[in-house]
């Protein structure tokens, strides 16, 4: 059983009778300066955990909206070093938990031991690595854990009971349940088999369960609302930001969803 | 060695959602592919459909010119005109035995796309091929072939619009459609078990070459040379020779236009270790770990990564990797055409150009086998344009 800060954040939201709200935004989107303003706004609007995307040139788990946004960040020269430096300066003003979400190679090139130290210094609470499956994750998990950073597992509709159990032995913070068989990106309908899969996952883990990929409206949660403790919104938030220039108001309907 | 690794390289850095199909494939390799019935069926297809064994040709004219023995393993004579067909027939057969009904593939030069479309048609599977939009233009002829074979070609507009982006797209497709679909990966790259699977299916090249050469000469060749994009023809060629330490193994990478700072494709010669497309290997990348664009005149070599087993052979010092520029490859192309009446693929022309560059430096008793991985018909337009540019 983990005592992660992220677990606490989600439990606090649940205690208020709502789901933890976890917006995702690629670091440096749409510009390096505007990004931190948007993070402040998301925080002020009550985001429980903010997922900061670490842009990568070849994001295989992402759909077109997130990919485009990540490439835009790279064009502006966003690096992991920049993200961690900026975060170190600004962390004390941010209430929300902070999770970095990215791909293996940029983390690897930064150096995993240095990453663990610098991320801890910057107040990062967790890491999600989209192309790091359970089998390859032990070394990194241990190095991160020594600095109090949780490696968040991703599971999905095709995760067997056996794999869920293997994950459960190691999971910390929360479990990220990928709602669809596919990449990130807004979907109208979530798959029918999702409810049963979520119930299975819920039974396997003692830490909270967050749902992500494809979410754009609380109405989508109908039928699974009792099984999910948190929600992650990425593509829909980016689209909202592109259309309105703001992020805070995007969270409003989610803040009251039970 | 850790499972799925070649020394420090390899592994399985893929989204968790791809683990079930990767484990399913690994299990099928061990259970189905290793079986006698499968091997018999595969040998039948390789013999009567693919046209194996392919010839081992002694280039009498070129050998006289360079002063040592030059031999070609003629994968250009295999059905569809390149070594790629060995891999796709094997994977398609395995997919069929696994109960899959669809193949998804990526292609750069279009050769792997054509080979996948061909195997799919033969075995009654549906076929979708992702191809960088840039390559769709460069290799229009192969796009037409794929479509005539019944495949759907999907141009990829994201990123650098070449092979690496086509692989991203194919992996995304596979994540979503894994139940009925096998991802027929075209080179010895990707997450475990692909580098092993592709090597096993291409190893027939080197096994044949070794036996053919010994039968003709009673000895082992001194050097074995192959071009390296992802490295499937090279690992297929090398594998049987790896235990014979007296045989030098040389992989030839593409150096593009050769100018410093230019994006090229010589991953093993100039890259650094990192993770791309599910595997730990050497990559063309920035110090921050972003993948750099690559470039080669030969679309099939235009990839910023390389198969992990090659990175391992290089680290061991068992194989050596060198690079050759666009211009040198073009000269190799012309020279083989005129000297021996064979139009090689531009990819293979890189391997050939390296060997021609050894002209006059080796004793006459030395024998070098070059893997002629494919024929040049697909490249006629690129060659024409390059010649026009050179003369203009
Ligand atoms: C004729 C030919 N040779 C070589 C290659 C490079 O692939 P690999 O390095 O996997 O053999 C290609 C790829 O398309 C090809 O078409």
Overall average pLDDT of the B285-306 stretch: 93
Ligand 1 test: best mutation among B108, B111, B294, most atoms within 8 Å of CB? B111
The pLDDT of residue A11: 96
Q: Which residues of B are catalytic?
A: 59, 83
Tell me if B276 and A58 make a contact (CB, 8 A cut-off).
yes
Instruction: Give, in words, the CATH class of A4-253.
Output: alpha beta
Q: Which atom in ligand 1 lies closest to the alpha carbon of residue B234?
A: 11
Say whether pLDDT at A247 is over 70.
yes
Return the domain boundaries, chain A. Answer: 4-253
Residue A258 confidence (pLDDT): 60
Could you say which DSSP state residue A14 is in?
A: H
Which of A95-104, A139-148, B292-301 has the lowest average pLDDT?
B292-301
Nearest Cα of chain B lies from the Cα of A242 at a distance, in angstroms, of: 19
Tens of pLDDT, residues A168-217: 999 999 999 999 998 888 888 889 899 999 999 999 999 999 999 999 99
pLDDT at A1 over 50: no
Could you say which of B15, B176, B288 has the minimum Cβ distance to residue A131? Answer: B15
Query: Tens digits of per-residue pLDDT, B53-94?
Result: 999 999 999 999 999 999 999 999 999 999 999 999 999 999
How high does pLDDT run on average in chain B? 96
Tell me the shortest Cα–Cα distance from A17 to chain B, in angstroms. 31
Test the A interface: residue of B3, B275, B291 with most A CBs within 10 Å: B275
Are A154 and B15 a contacting pair at CB < 8 A? yes
What does the block give as tokens for A255? 């803040």
- Give the model confidence (pLDDT) of A37-70 as tens digits: 999 999 999 999 999 999 999 999 999 999 999 9
Tokens of B294: 């690559």
B187, B195, B343, best to mutate for ligand 1 pocket (most atoms within 8 Å of CB): B187
Beta bridge partners of A233: A23
Q: Quote the pTM value.
A: 0.97
pLDDT range class, residue A2, cuts 50, 70, 90: very low
Asked if B263 has any chain A CB less than 8 Å from its own CB, the reply is no
The finding on whether B86 has its CB within 6 A of some atom of ligand 1 is no
Distance CA B16, CA A135 (A): 9
Residue B213 belongs to what H/E stretch? helix B204-217
Mutate one of B9, B17, B180 to test the A interface: name it (highest A CB count within 10 A): B17
Measured from the Cα of B76, ligand 1's closest atom is 1
- Return the structure tokens found at B255: 């150096």
Interchain proximity B175–A182, CB inside 8 Å: yes
Q: Is the CB of B227 under 6 A from ligand 1?
A: yes
Is B300's C-beta closer than 6 angstroms to any atom of ligand 1? yes
Closest residue in B to A128 (Cα) is B15
The answer for B2, left when phi > 0, alpha when psi is -120 to 50, beta otherwise, is: beta
B347 Cα to the center of ligand 1, angstroms: 6
CA–CA distances in Å: residue A148 to residues A50, A125, A127, A145, A173: 17, 7, 11, 5, 10
Mention every residue, 6+ apart, whose C-beta is less than 8 A from residue A127. Answer: A99, A100, A101, A102, A107, A119, A144, A149, A150, A151, A152
How is residue B344 annotated by DSSP?
B
Q: Residue B245: is it exposed, middle or buried by C-beta count within 10 angstroms (0-12/13-18/19+)?
A: exposed
**What is the CB-side half-sphere exposure of residue B227 using CA atoms within 13 A?**
34
Alpha-helical regions (H) of A182-234: 194-204
d(Cα B124, Cα B149) in Å, to the nearest integer?
11
Pairing assessment for the beta strands A97-102 and B5-6 based on DSSP bridges: unpaired
Cβ of A201 under 8 Å from any chain B Cβ? no
């Amino acid at each position: 059983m983990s005592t992660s800060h992220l677990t606490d954040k989600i439990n606090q939201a649940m205690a208020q009778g709502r789901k933890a709200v976890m917006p995702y935004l690629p670091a440096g989107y749409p510009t390096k300066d505007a990004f931190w303003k948007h993070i402040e706004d998301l925080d002020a609007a009550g985001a429980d955990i903010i997922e900061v995307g670490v842009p990568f040139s070849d994001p295989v788990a992402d759909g077109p909206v997130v990919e485009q946004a990540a490439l835009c960040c790279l064009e502006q020269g966003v690096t992991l070093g920049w993200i961690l430096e900026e975060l170190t300066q600004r962390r004390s003003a941010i209430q929300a938990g902070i999770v970095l979400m990215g791909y293996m190679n940029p983390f690897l090139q930064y150096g995993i031991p240095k990453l663990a130290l610098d991320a801890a210094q910057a107040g990062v609470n967790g890491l999600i690595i989209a192309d790091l499956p359970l089998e390859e994750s032990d070394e990194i998990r241990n190095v991160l854990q020594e600095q109090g950073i949780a490696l968040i597992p991703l599971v999905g509709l095709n995760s067997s009971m056996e794999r869920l159990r293997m994950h459960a032995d190691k999971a910390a913070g929360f479990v990220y349940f990928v709602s669809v068989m596919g990449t990130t990106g807004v979907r109208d309908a979530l798959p029918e088999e999702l409810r049963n899969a979520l119930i299975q996952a819920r039974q396997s883990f003692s830490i909270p369960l967050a749902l992500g990929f494809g979410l754009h409206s609380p109405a989508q949660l109908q039928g699974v609302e009792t099984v999910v403790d948190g929600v992650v919104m990425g593509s829909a938030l980016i689209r909202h930001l592109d259309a309105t220039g703001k992020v805070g108001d995007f969270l409003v309907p989610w803040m009251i969803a039970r | 060695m850790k499972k799925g690794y070649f020394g420090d390289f390899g592994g399985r850095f893929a989204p968790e959602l791809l683990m079930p199909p990767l484990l399913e494939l690994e299990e099928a390799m061990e259970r189905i592919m290793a079986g006698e019935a499968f091997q018999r069926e595969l040998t039948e297809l390789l013999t009567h459909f693919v046209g194996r064994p392919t010839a081992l040709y002694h280039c009498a004219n070129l050998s006289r010119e360079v002063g040592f023995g030059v031999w070609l393993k003629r994968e250009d004579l295999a059905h569809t005109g390149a070594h790629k067909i060995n891999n796709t027939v094997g994977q398609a057969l395995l997919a069929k035995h696994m109960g899959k009904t669809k193949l998804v593939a990526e292609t750069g030069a279009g050769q792997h796309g054509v080979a996948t479309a061909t195997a799919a048609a033969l075995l009654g599977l549906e076929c979708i091929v992702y191809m960088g939009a840039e390559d769709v233009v460069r290799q229009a002829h192969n796009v037409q072939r794929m479509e005539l074979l019944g495949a759907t070609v999907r141009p990829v507009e994201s990123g650098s619009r070449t092979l690496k982006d086509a692989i991203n797209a194919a992996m995304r497709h596979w994540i979503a459609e894994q139940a009925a679909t096998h991802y027929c990966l075209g080179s010895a790259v990707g997450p475990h078990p692909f580098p092993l699977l592709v090597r096993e299916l291409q190893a027939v090249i080197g096994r044949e070459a070794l036996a053919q050469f010994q039968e003709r000469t009673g000895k082992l060749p001194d050097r074995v040379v192959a071009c390296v994009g992802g490295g499937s023809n090279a690992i297929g060629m090398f594998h049987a020779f790896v235990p014979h330490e007296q045989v030098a193994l040389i992989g030839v990478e593409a150096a593009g236009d050769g100018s410093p700072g230019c994006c090229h494709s010589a991953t093993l010669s100039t890259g650094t270790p990192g993770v791309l497309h599910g595997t730990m290997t050497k990559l063309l990348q920035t110090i921050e770990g972003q993948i750099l664009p690559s470039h080669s005149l030969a679309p099939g070599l235009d990839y910023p990564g390389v198969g992990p087993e090659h990175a391992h052979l290089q680290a061991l010092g068992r194989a050596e990797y060198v690079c050759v520029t666009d211009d040198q490859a073009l000269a190799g192309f012309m020279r083989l055409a005129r000297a021996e009446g064979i139009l090689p693929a531009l990819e293979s022309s890189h391997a050939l150009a390296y060997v021609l560059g050894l002209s006059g430096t080796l004793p006459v008793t030395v024998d070098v086998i070059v893997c002629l991985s494919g024929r040049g018909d697909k490249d006629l337009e690129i060659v024409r344009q390059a010649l026009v540019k050179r003369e203009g």
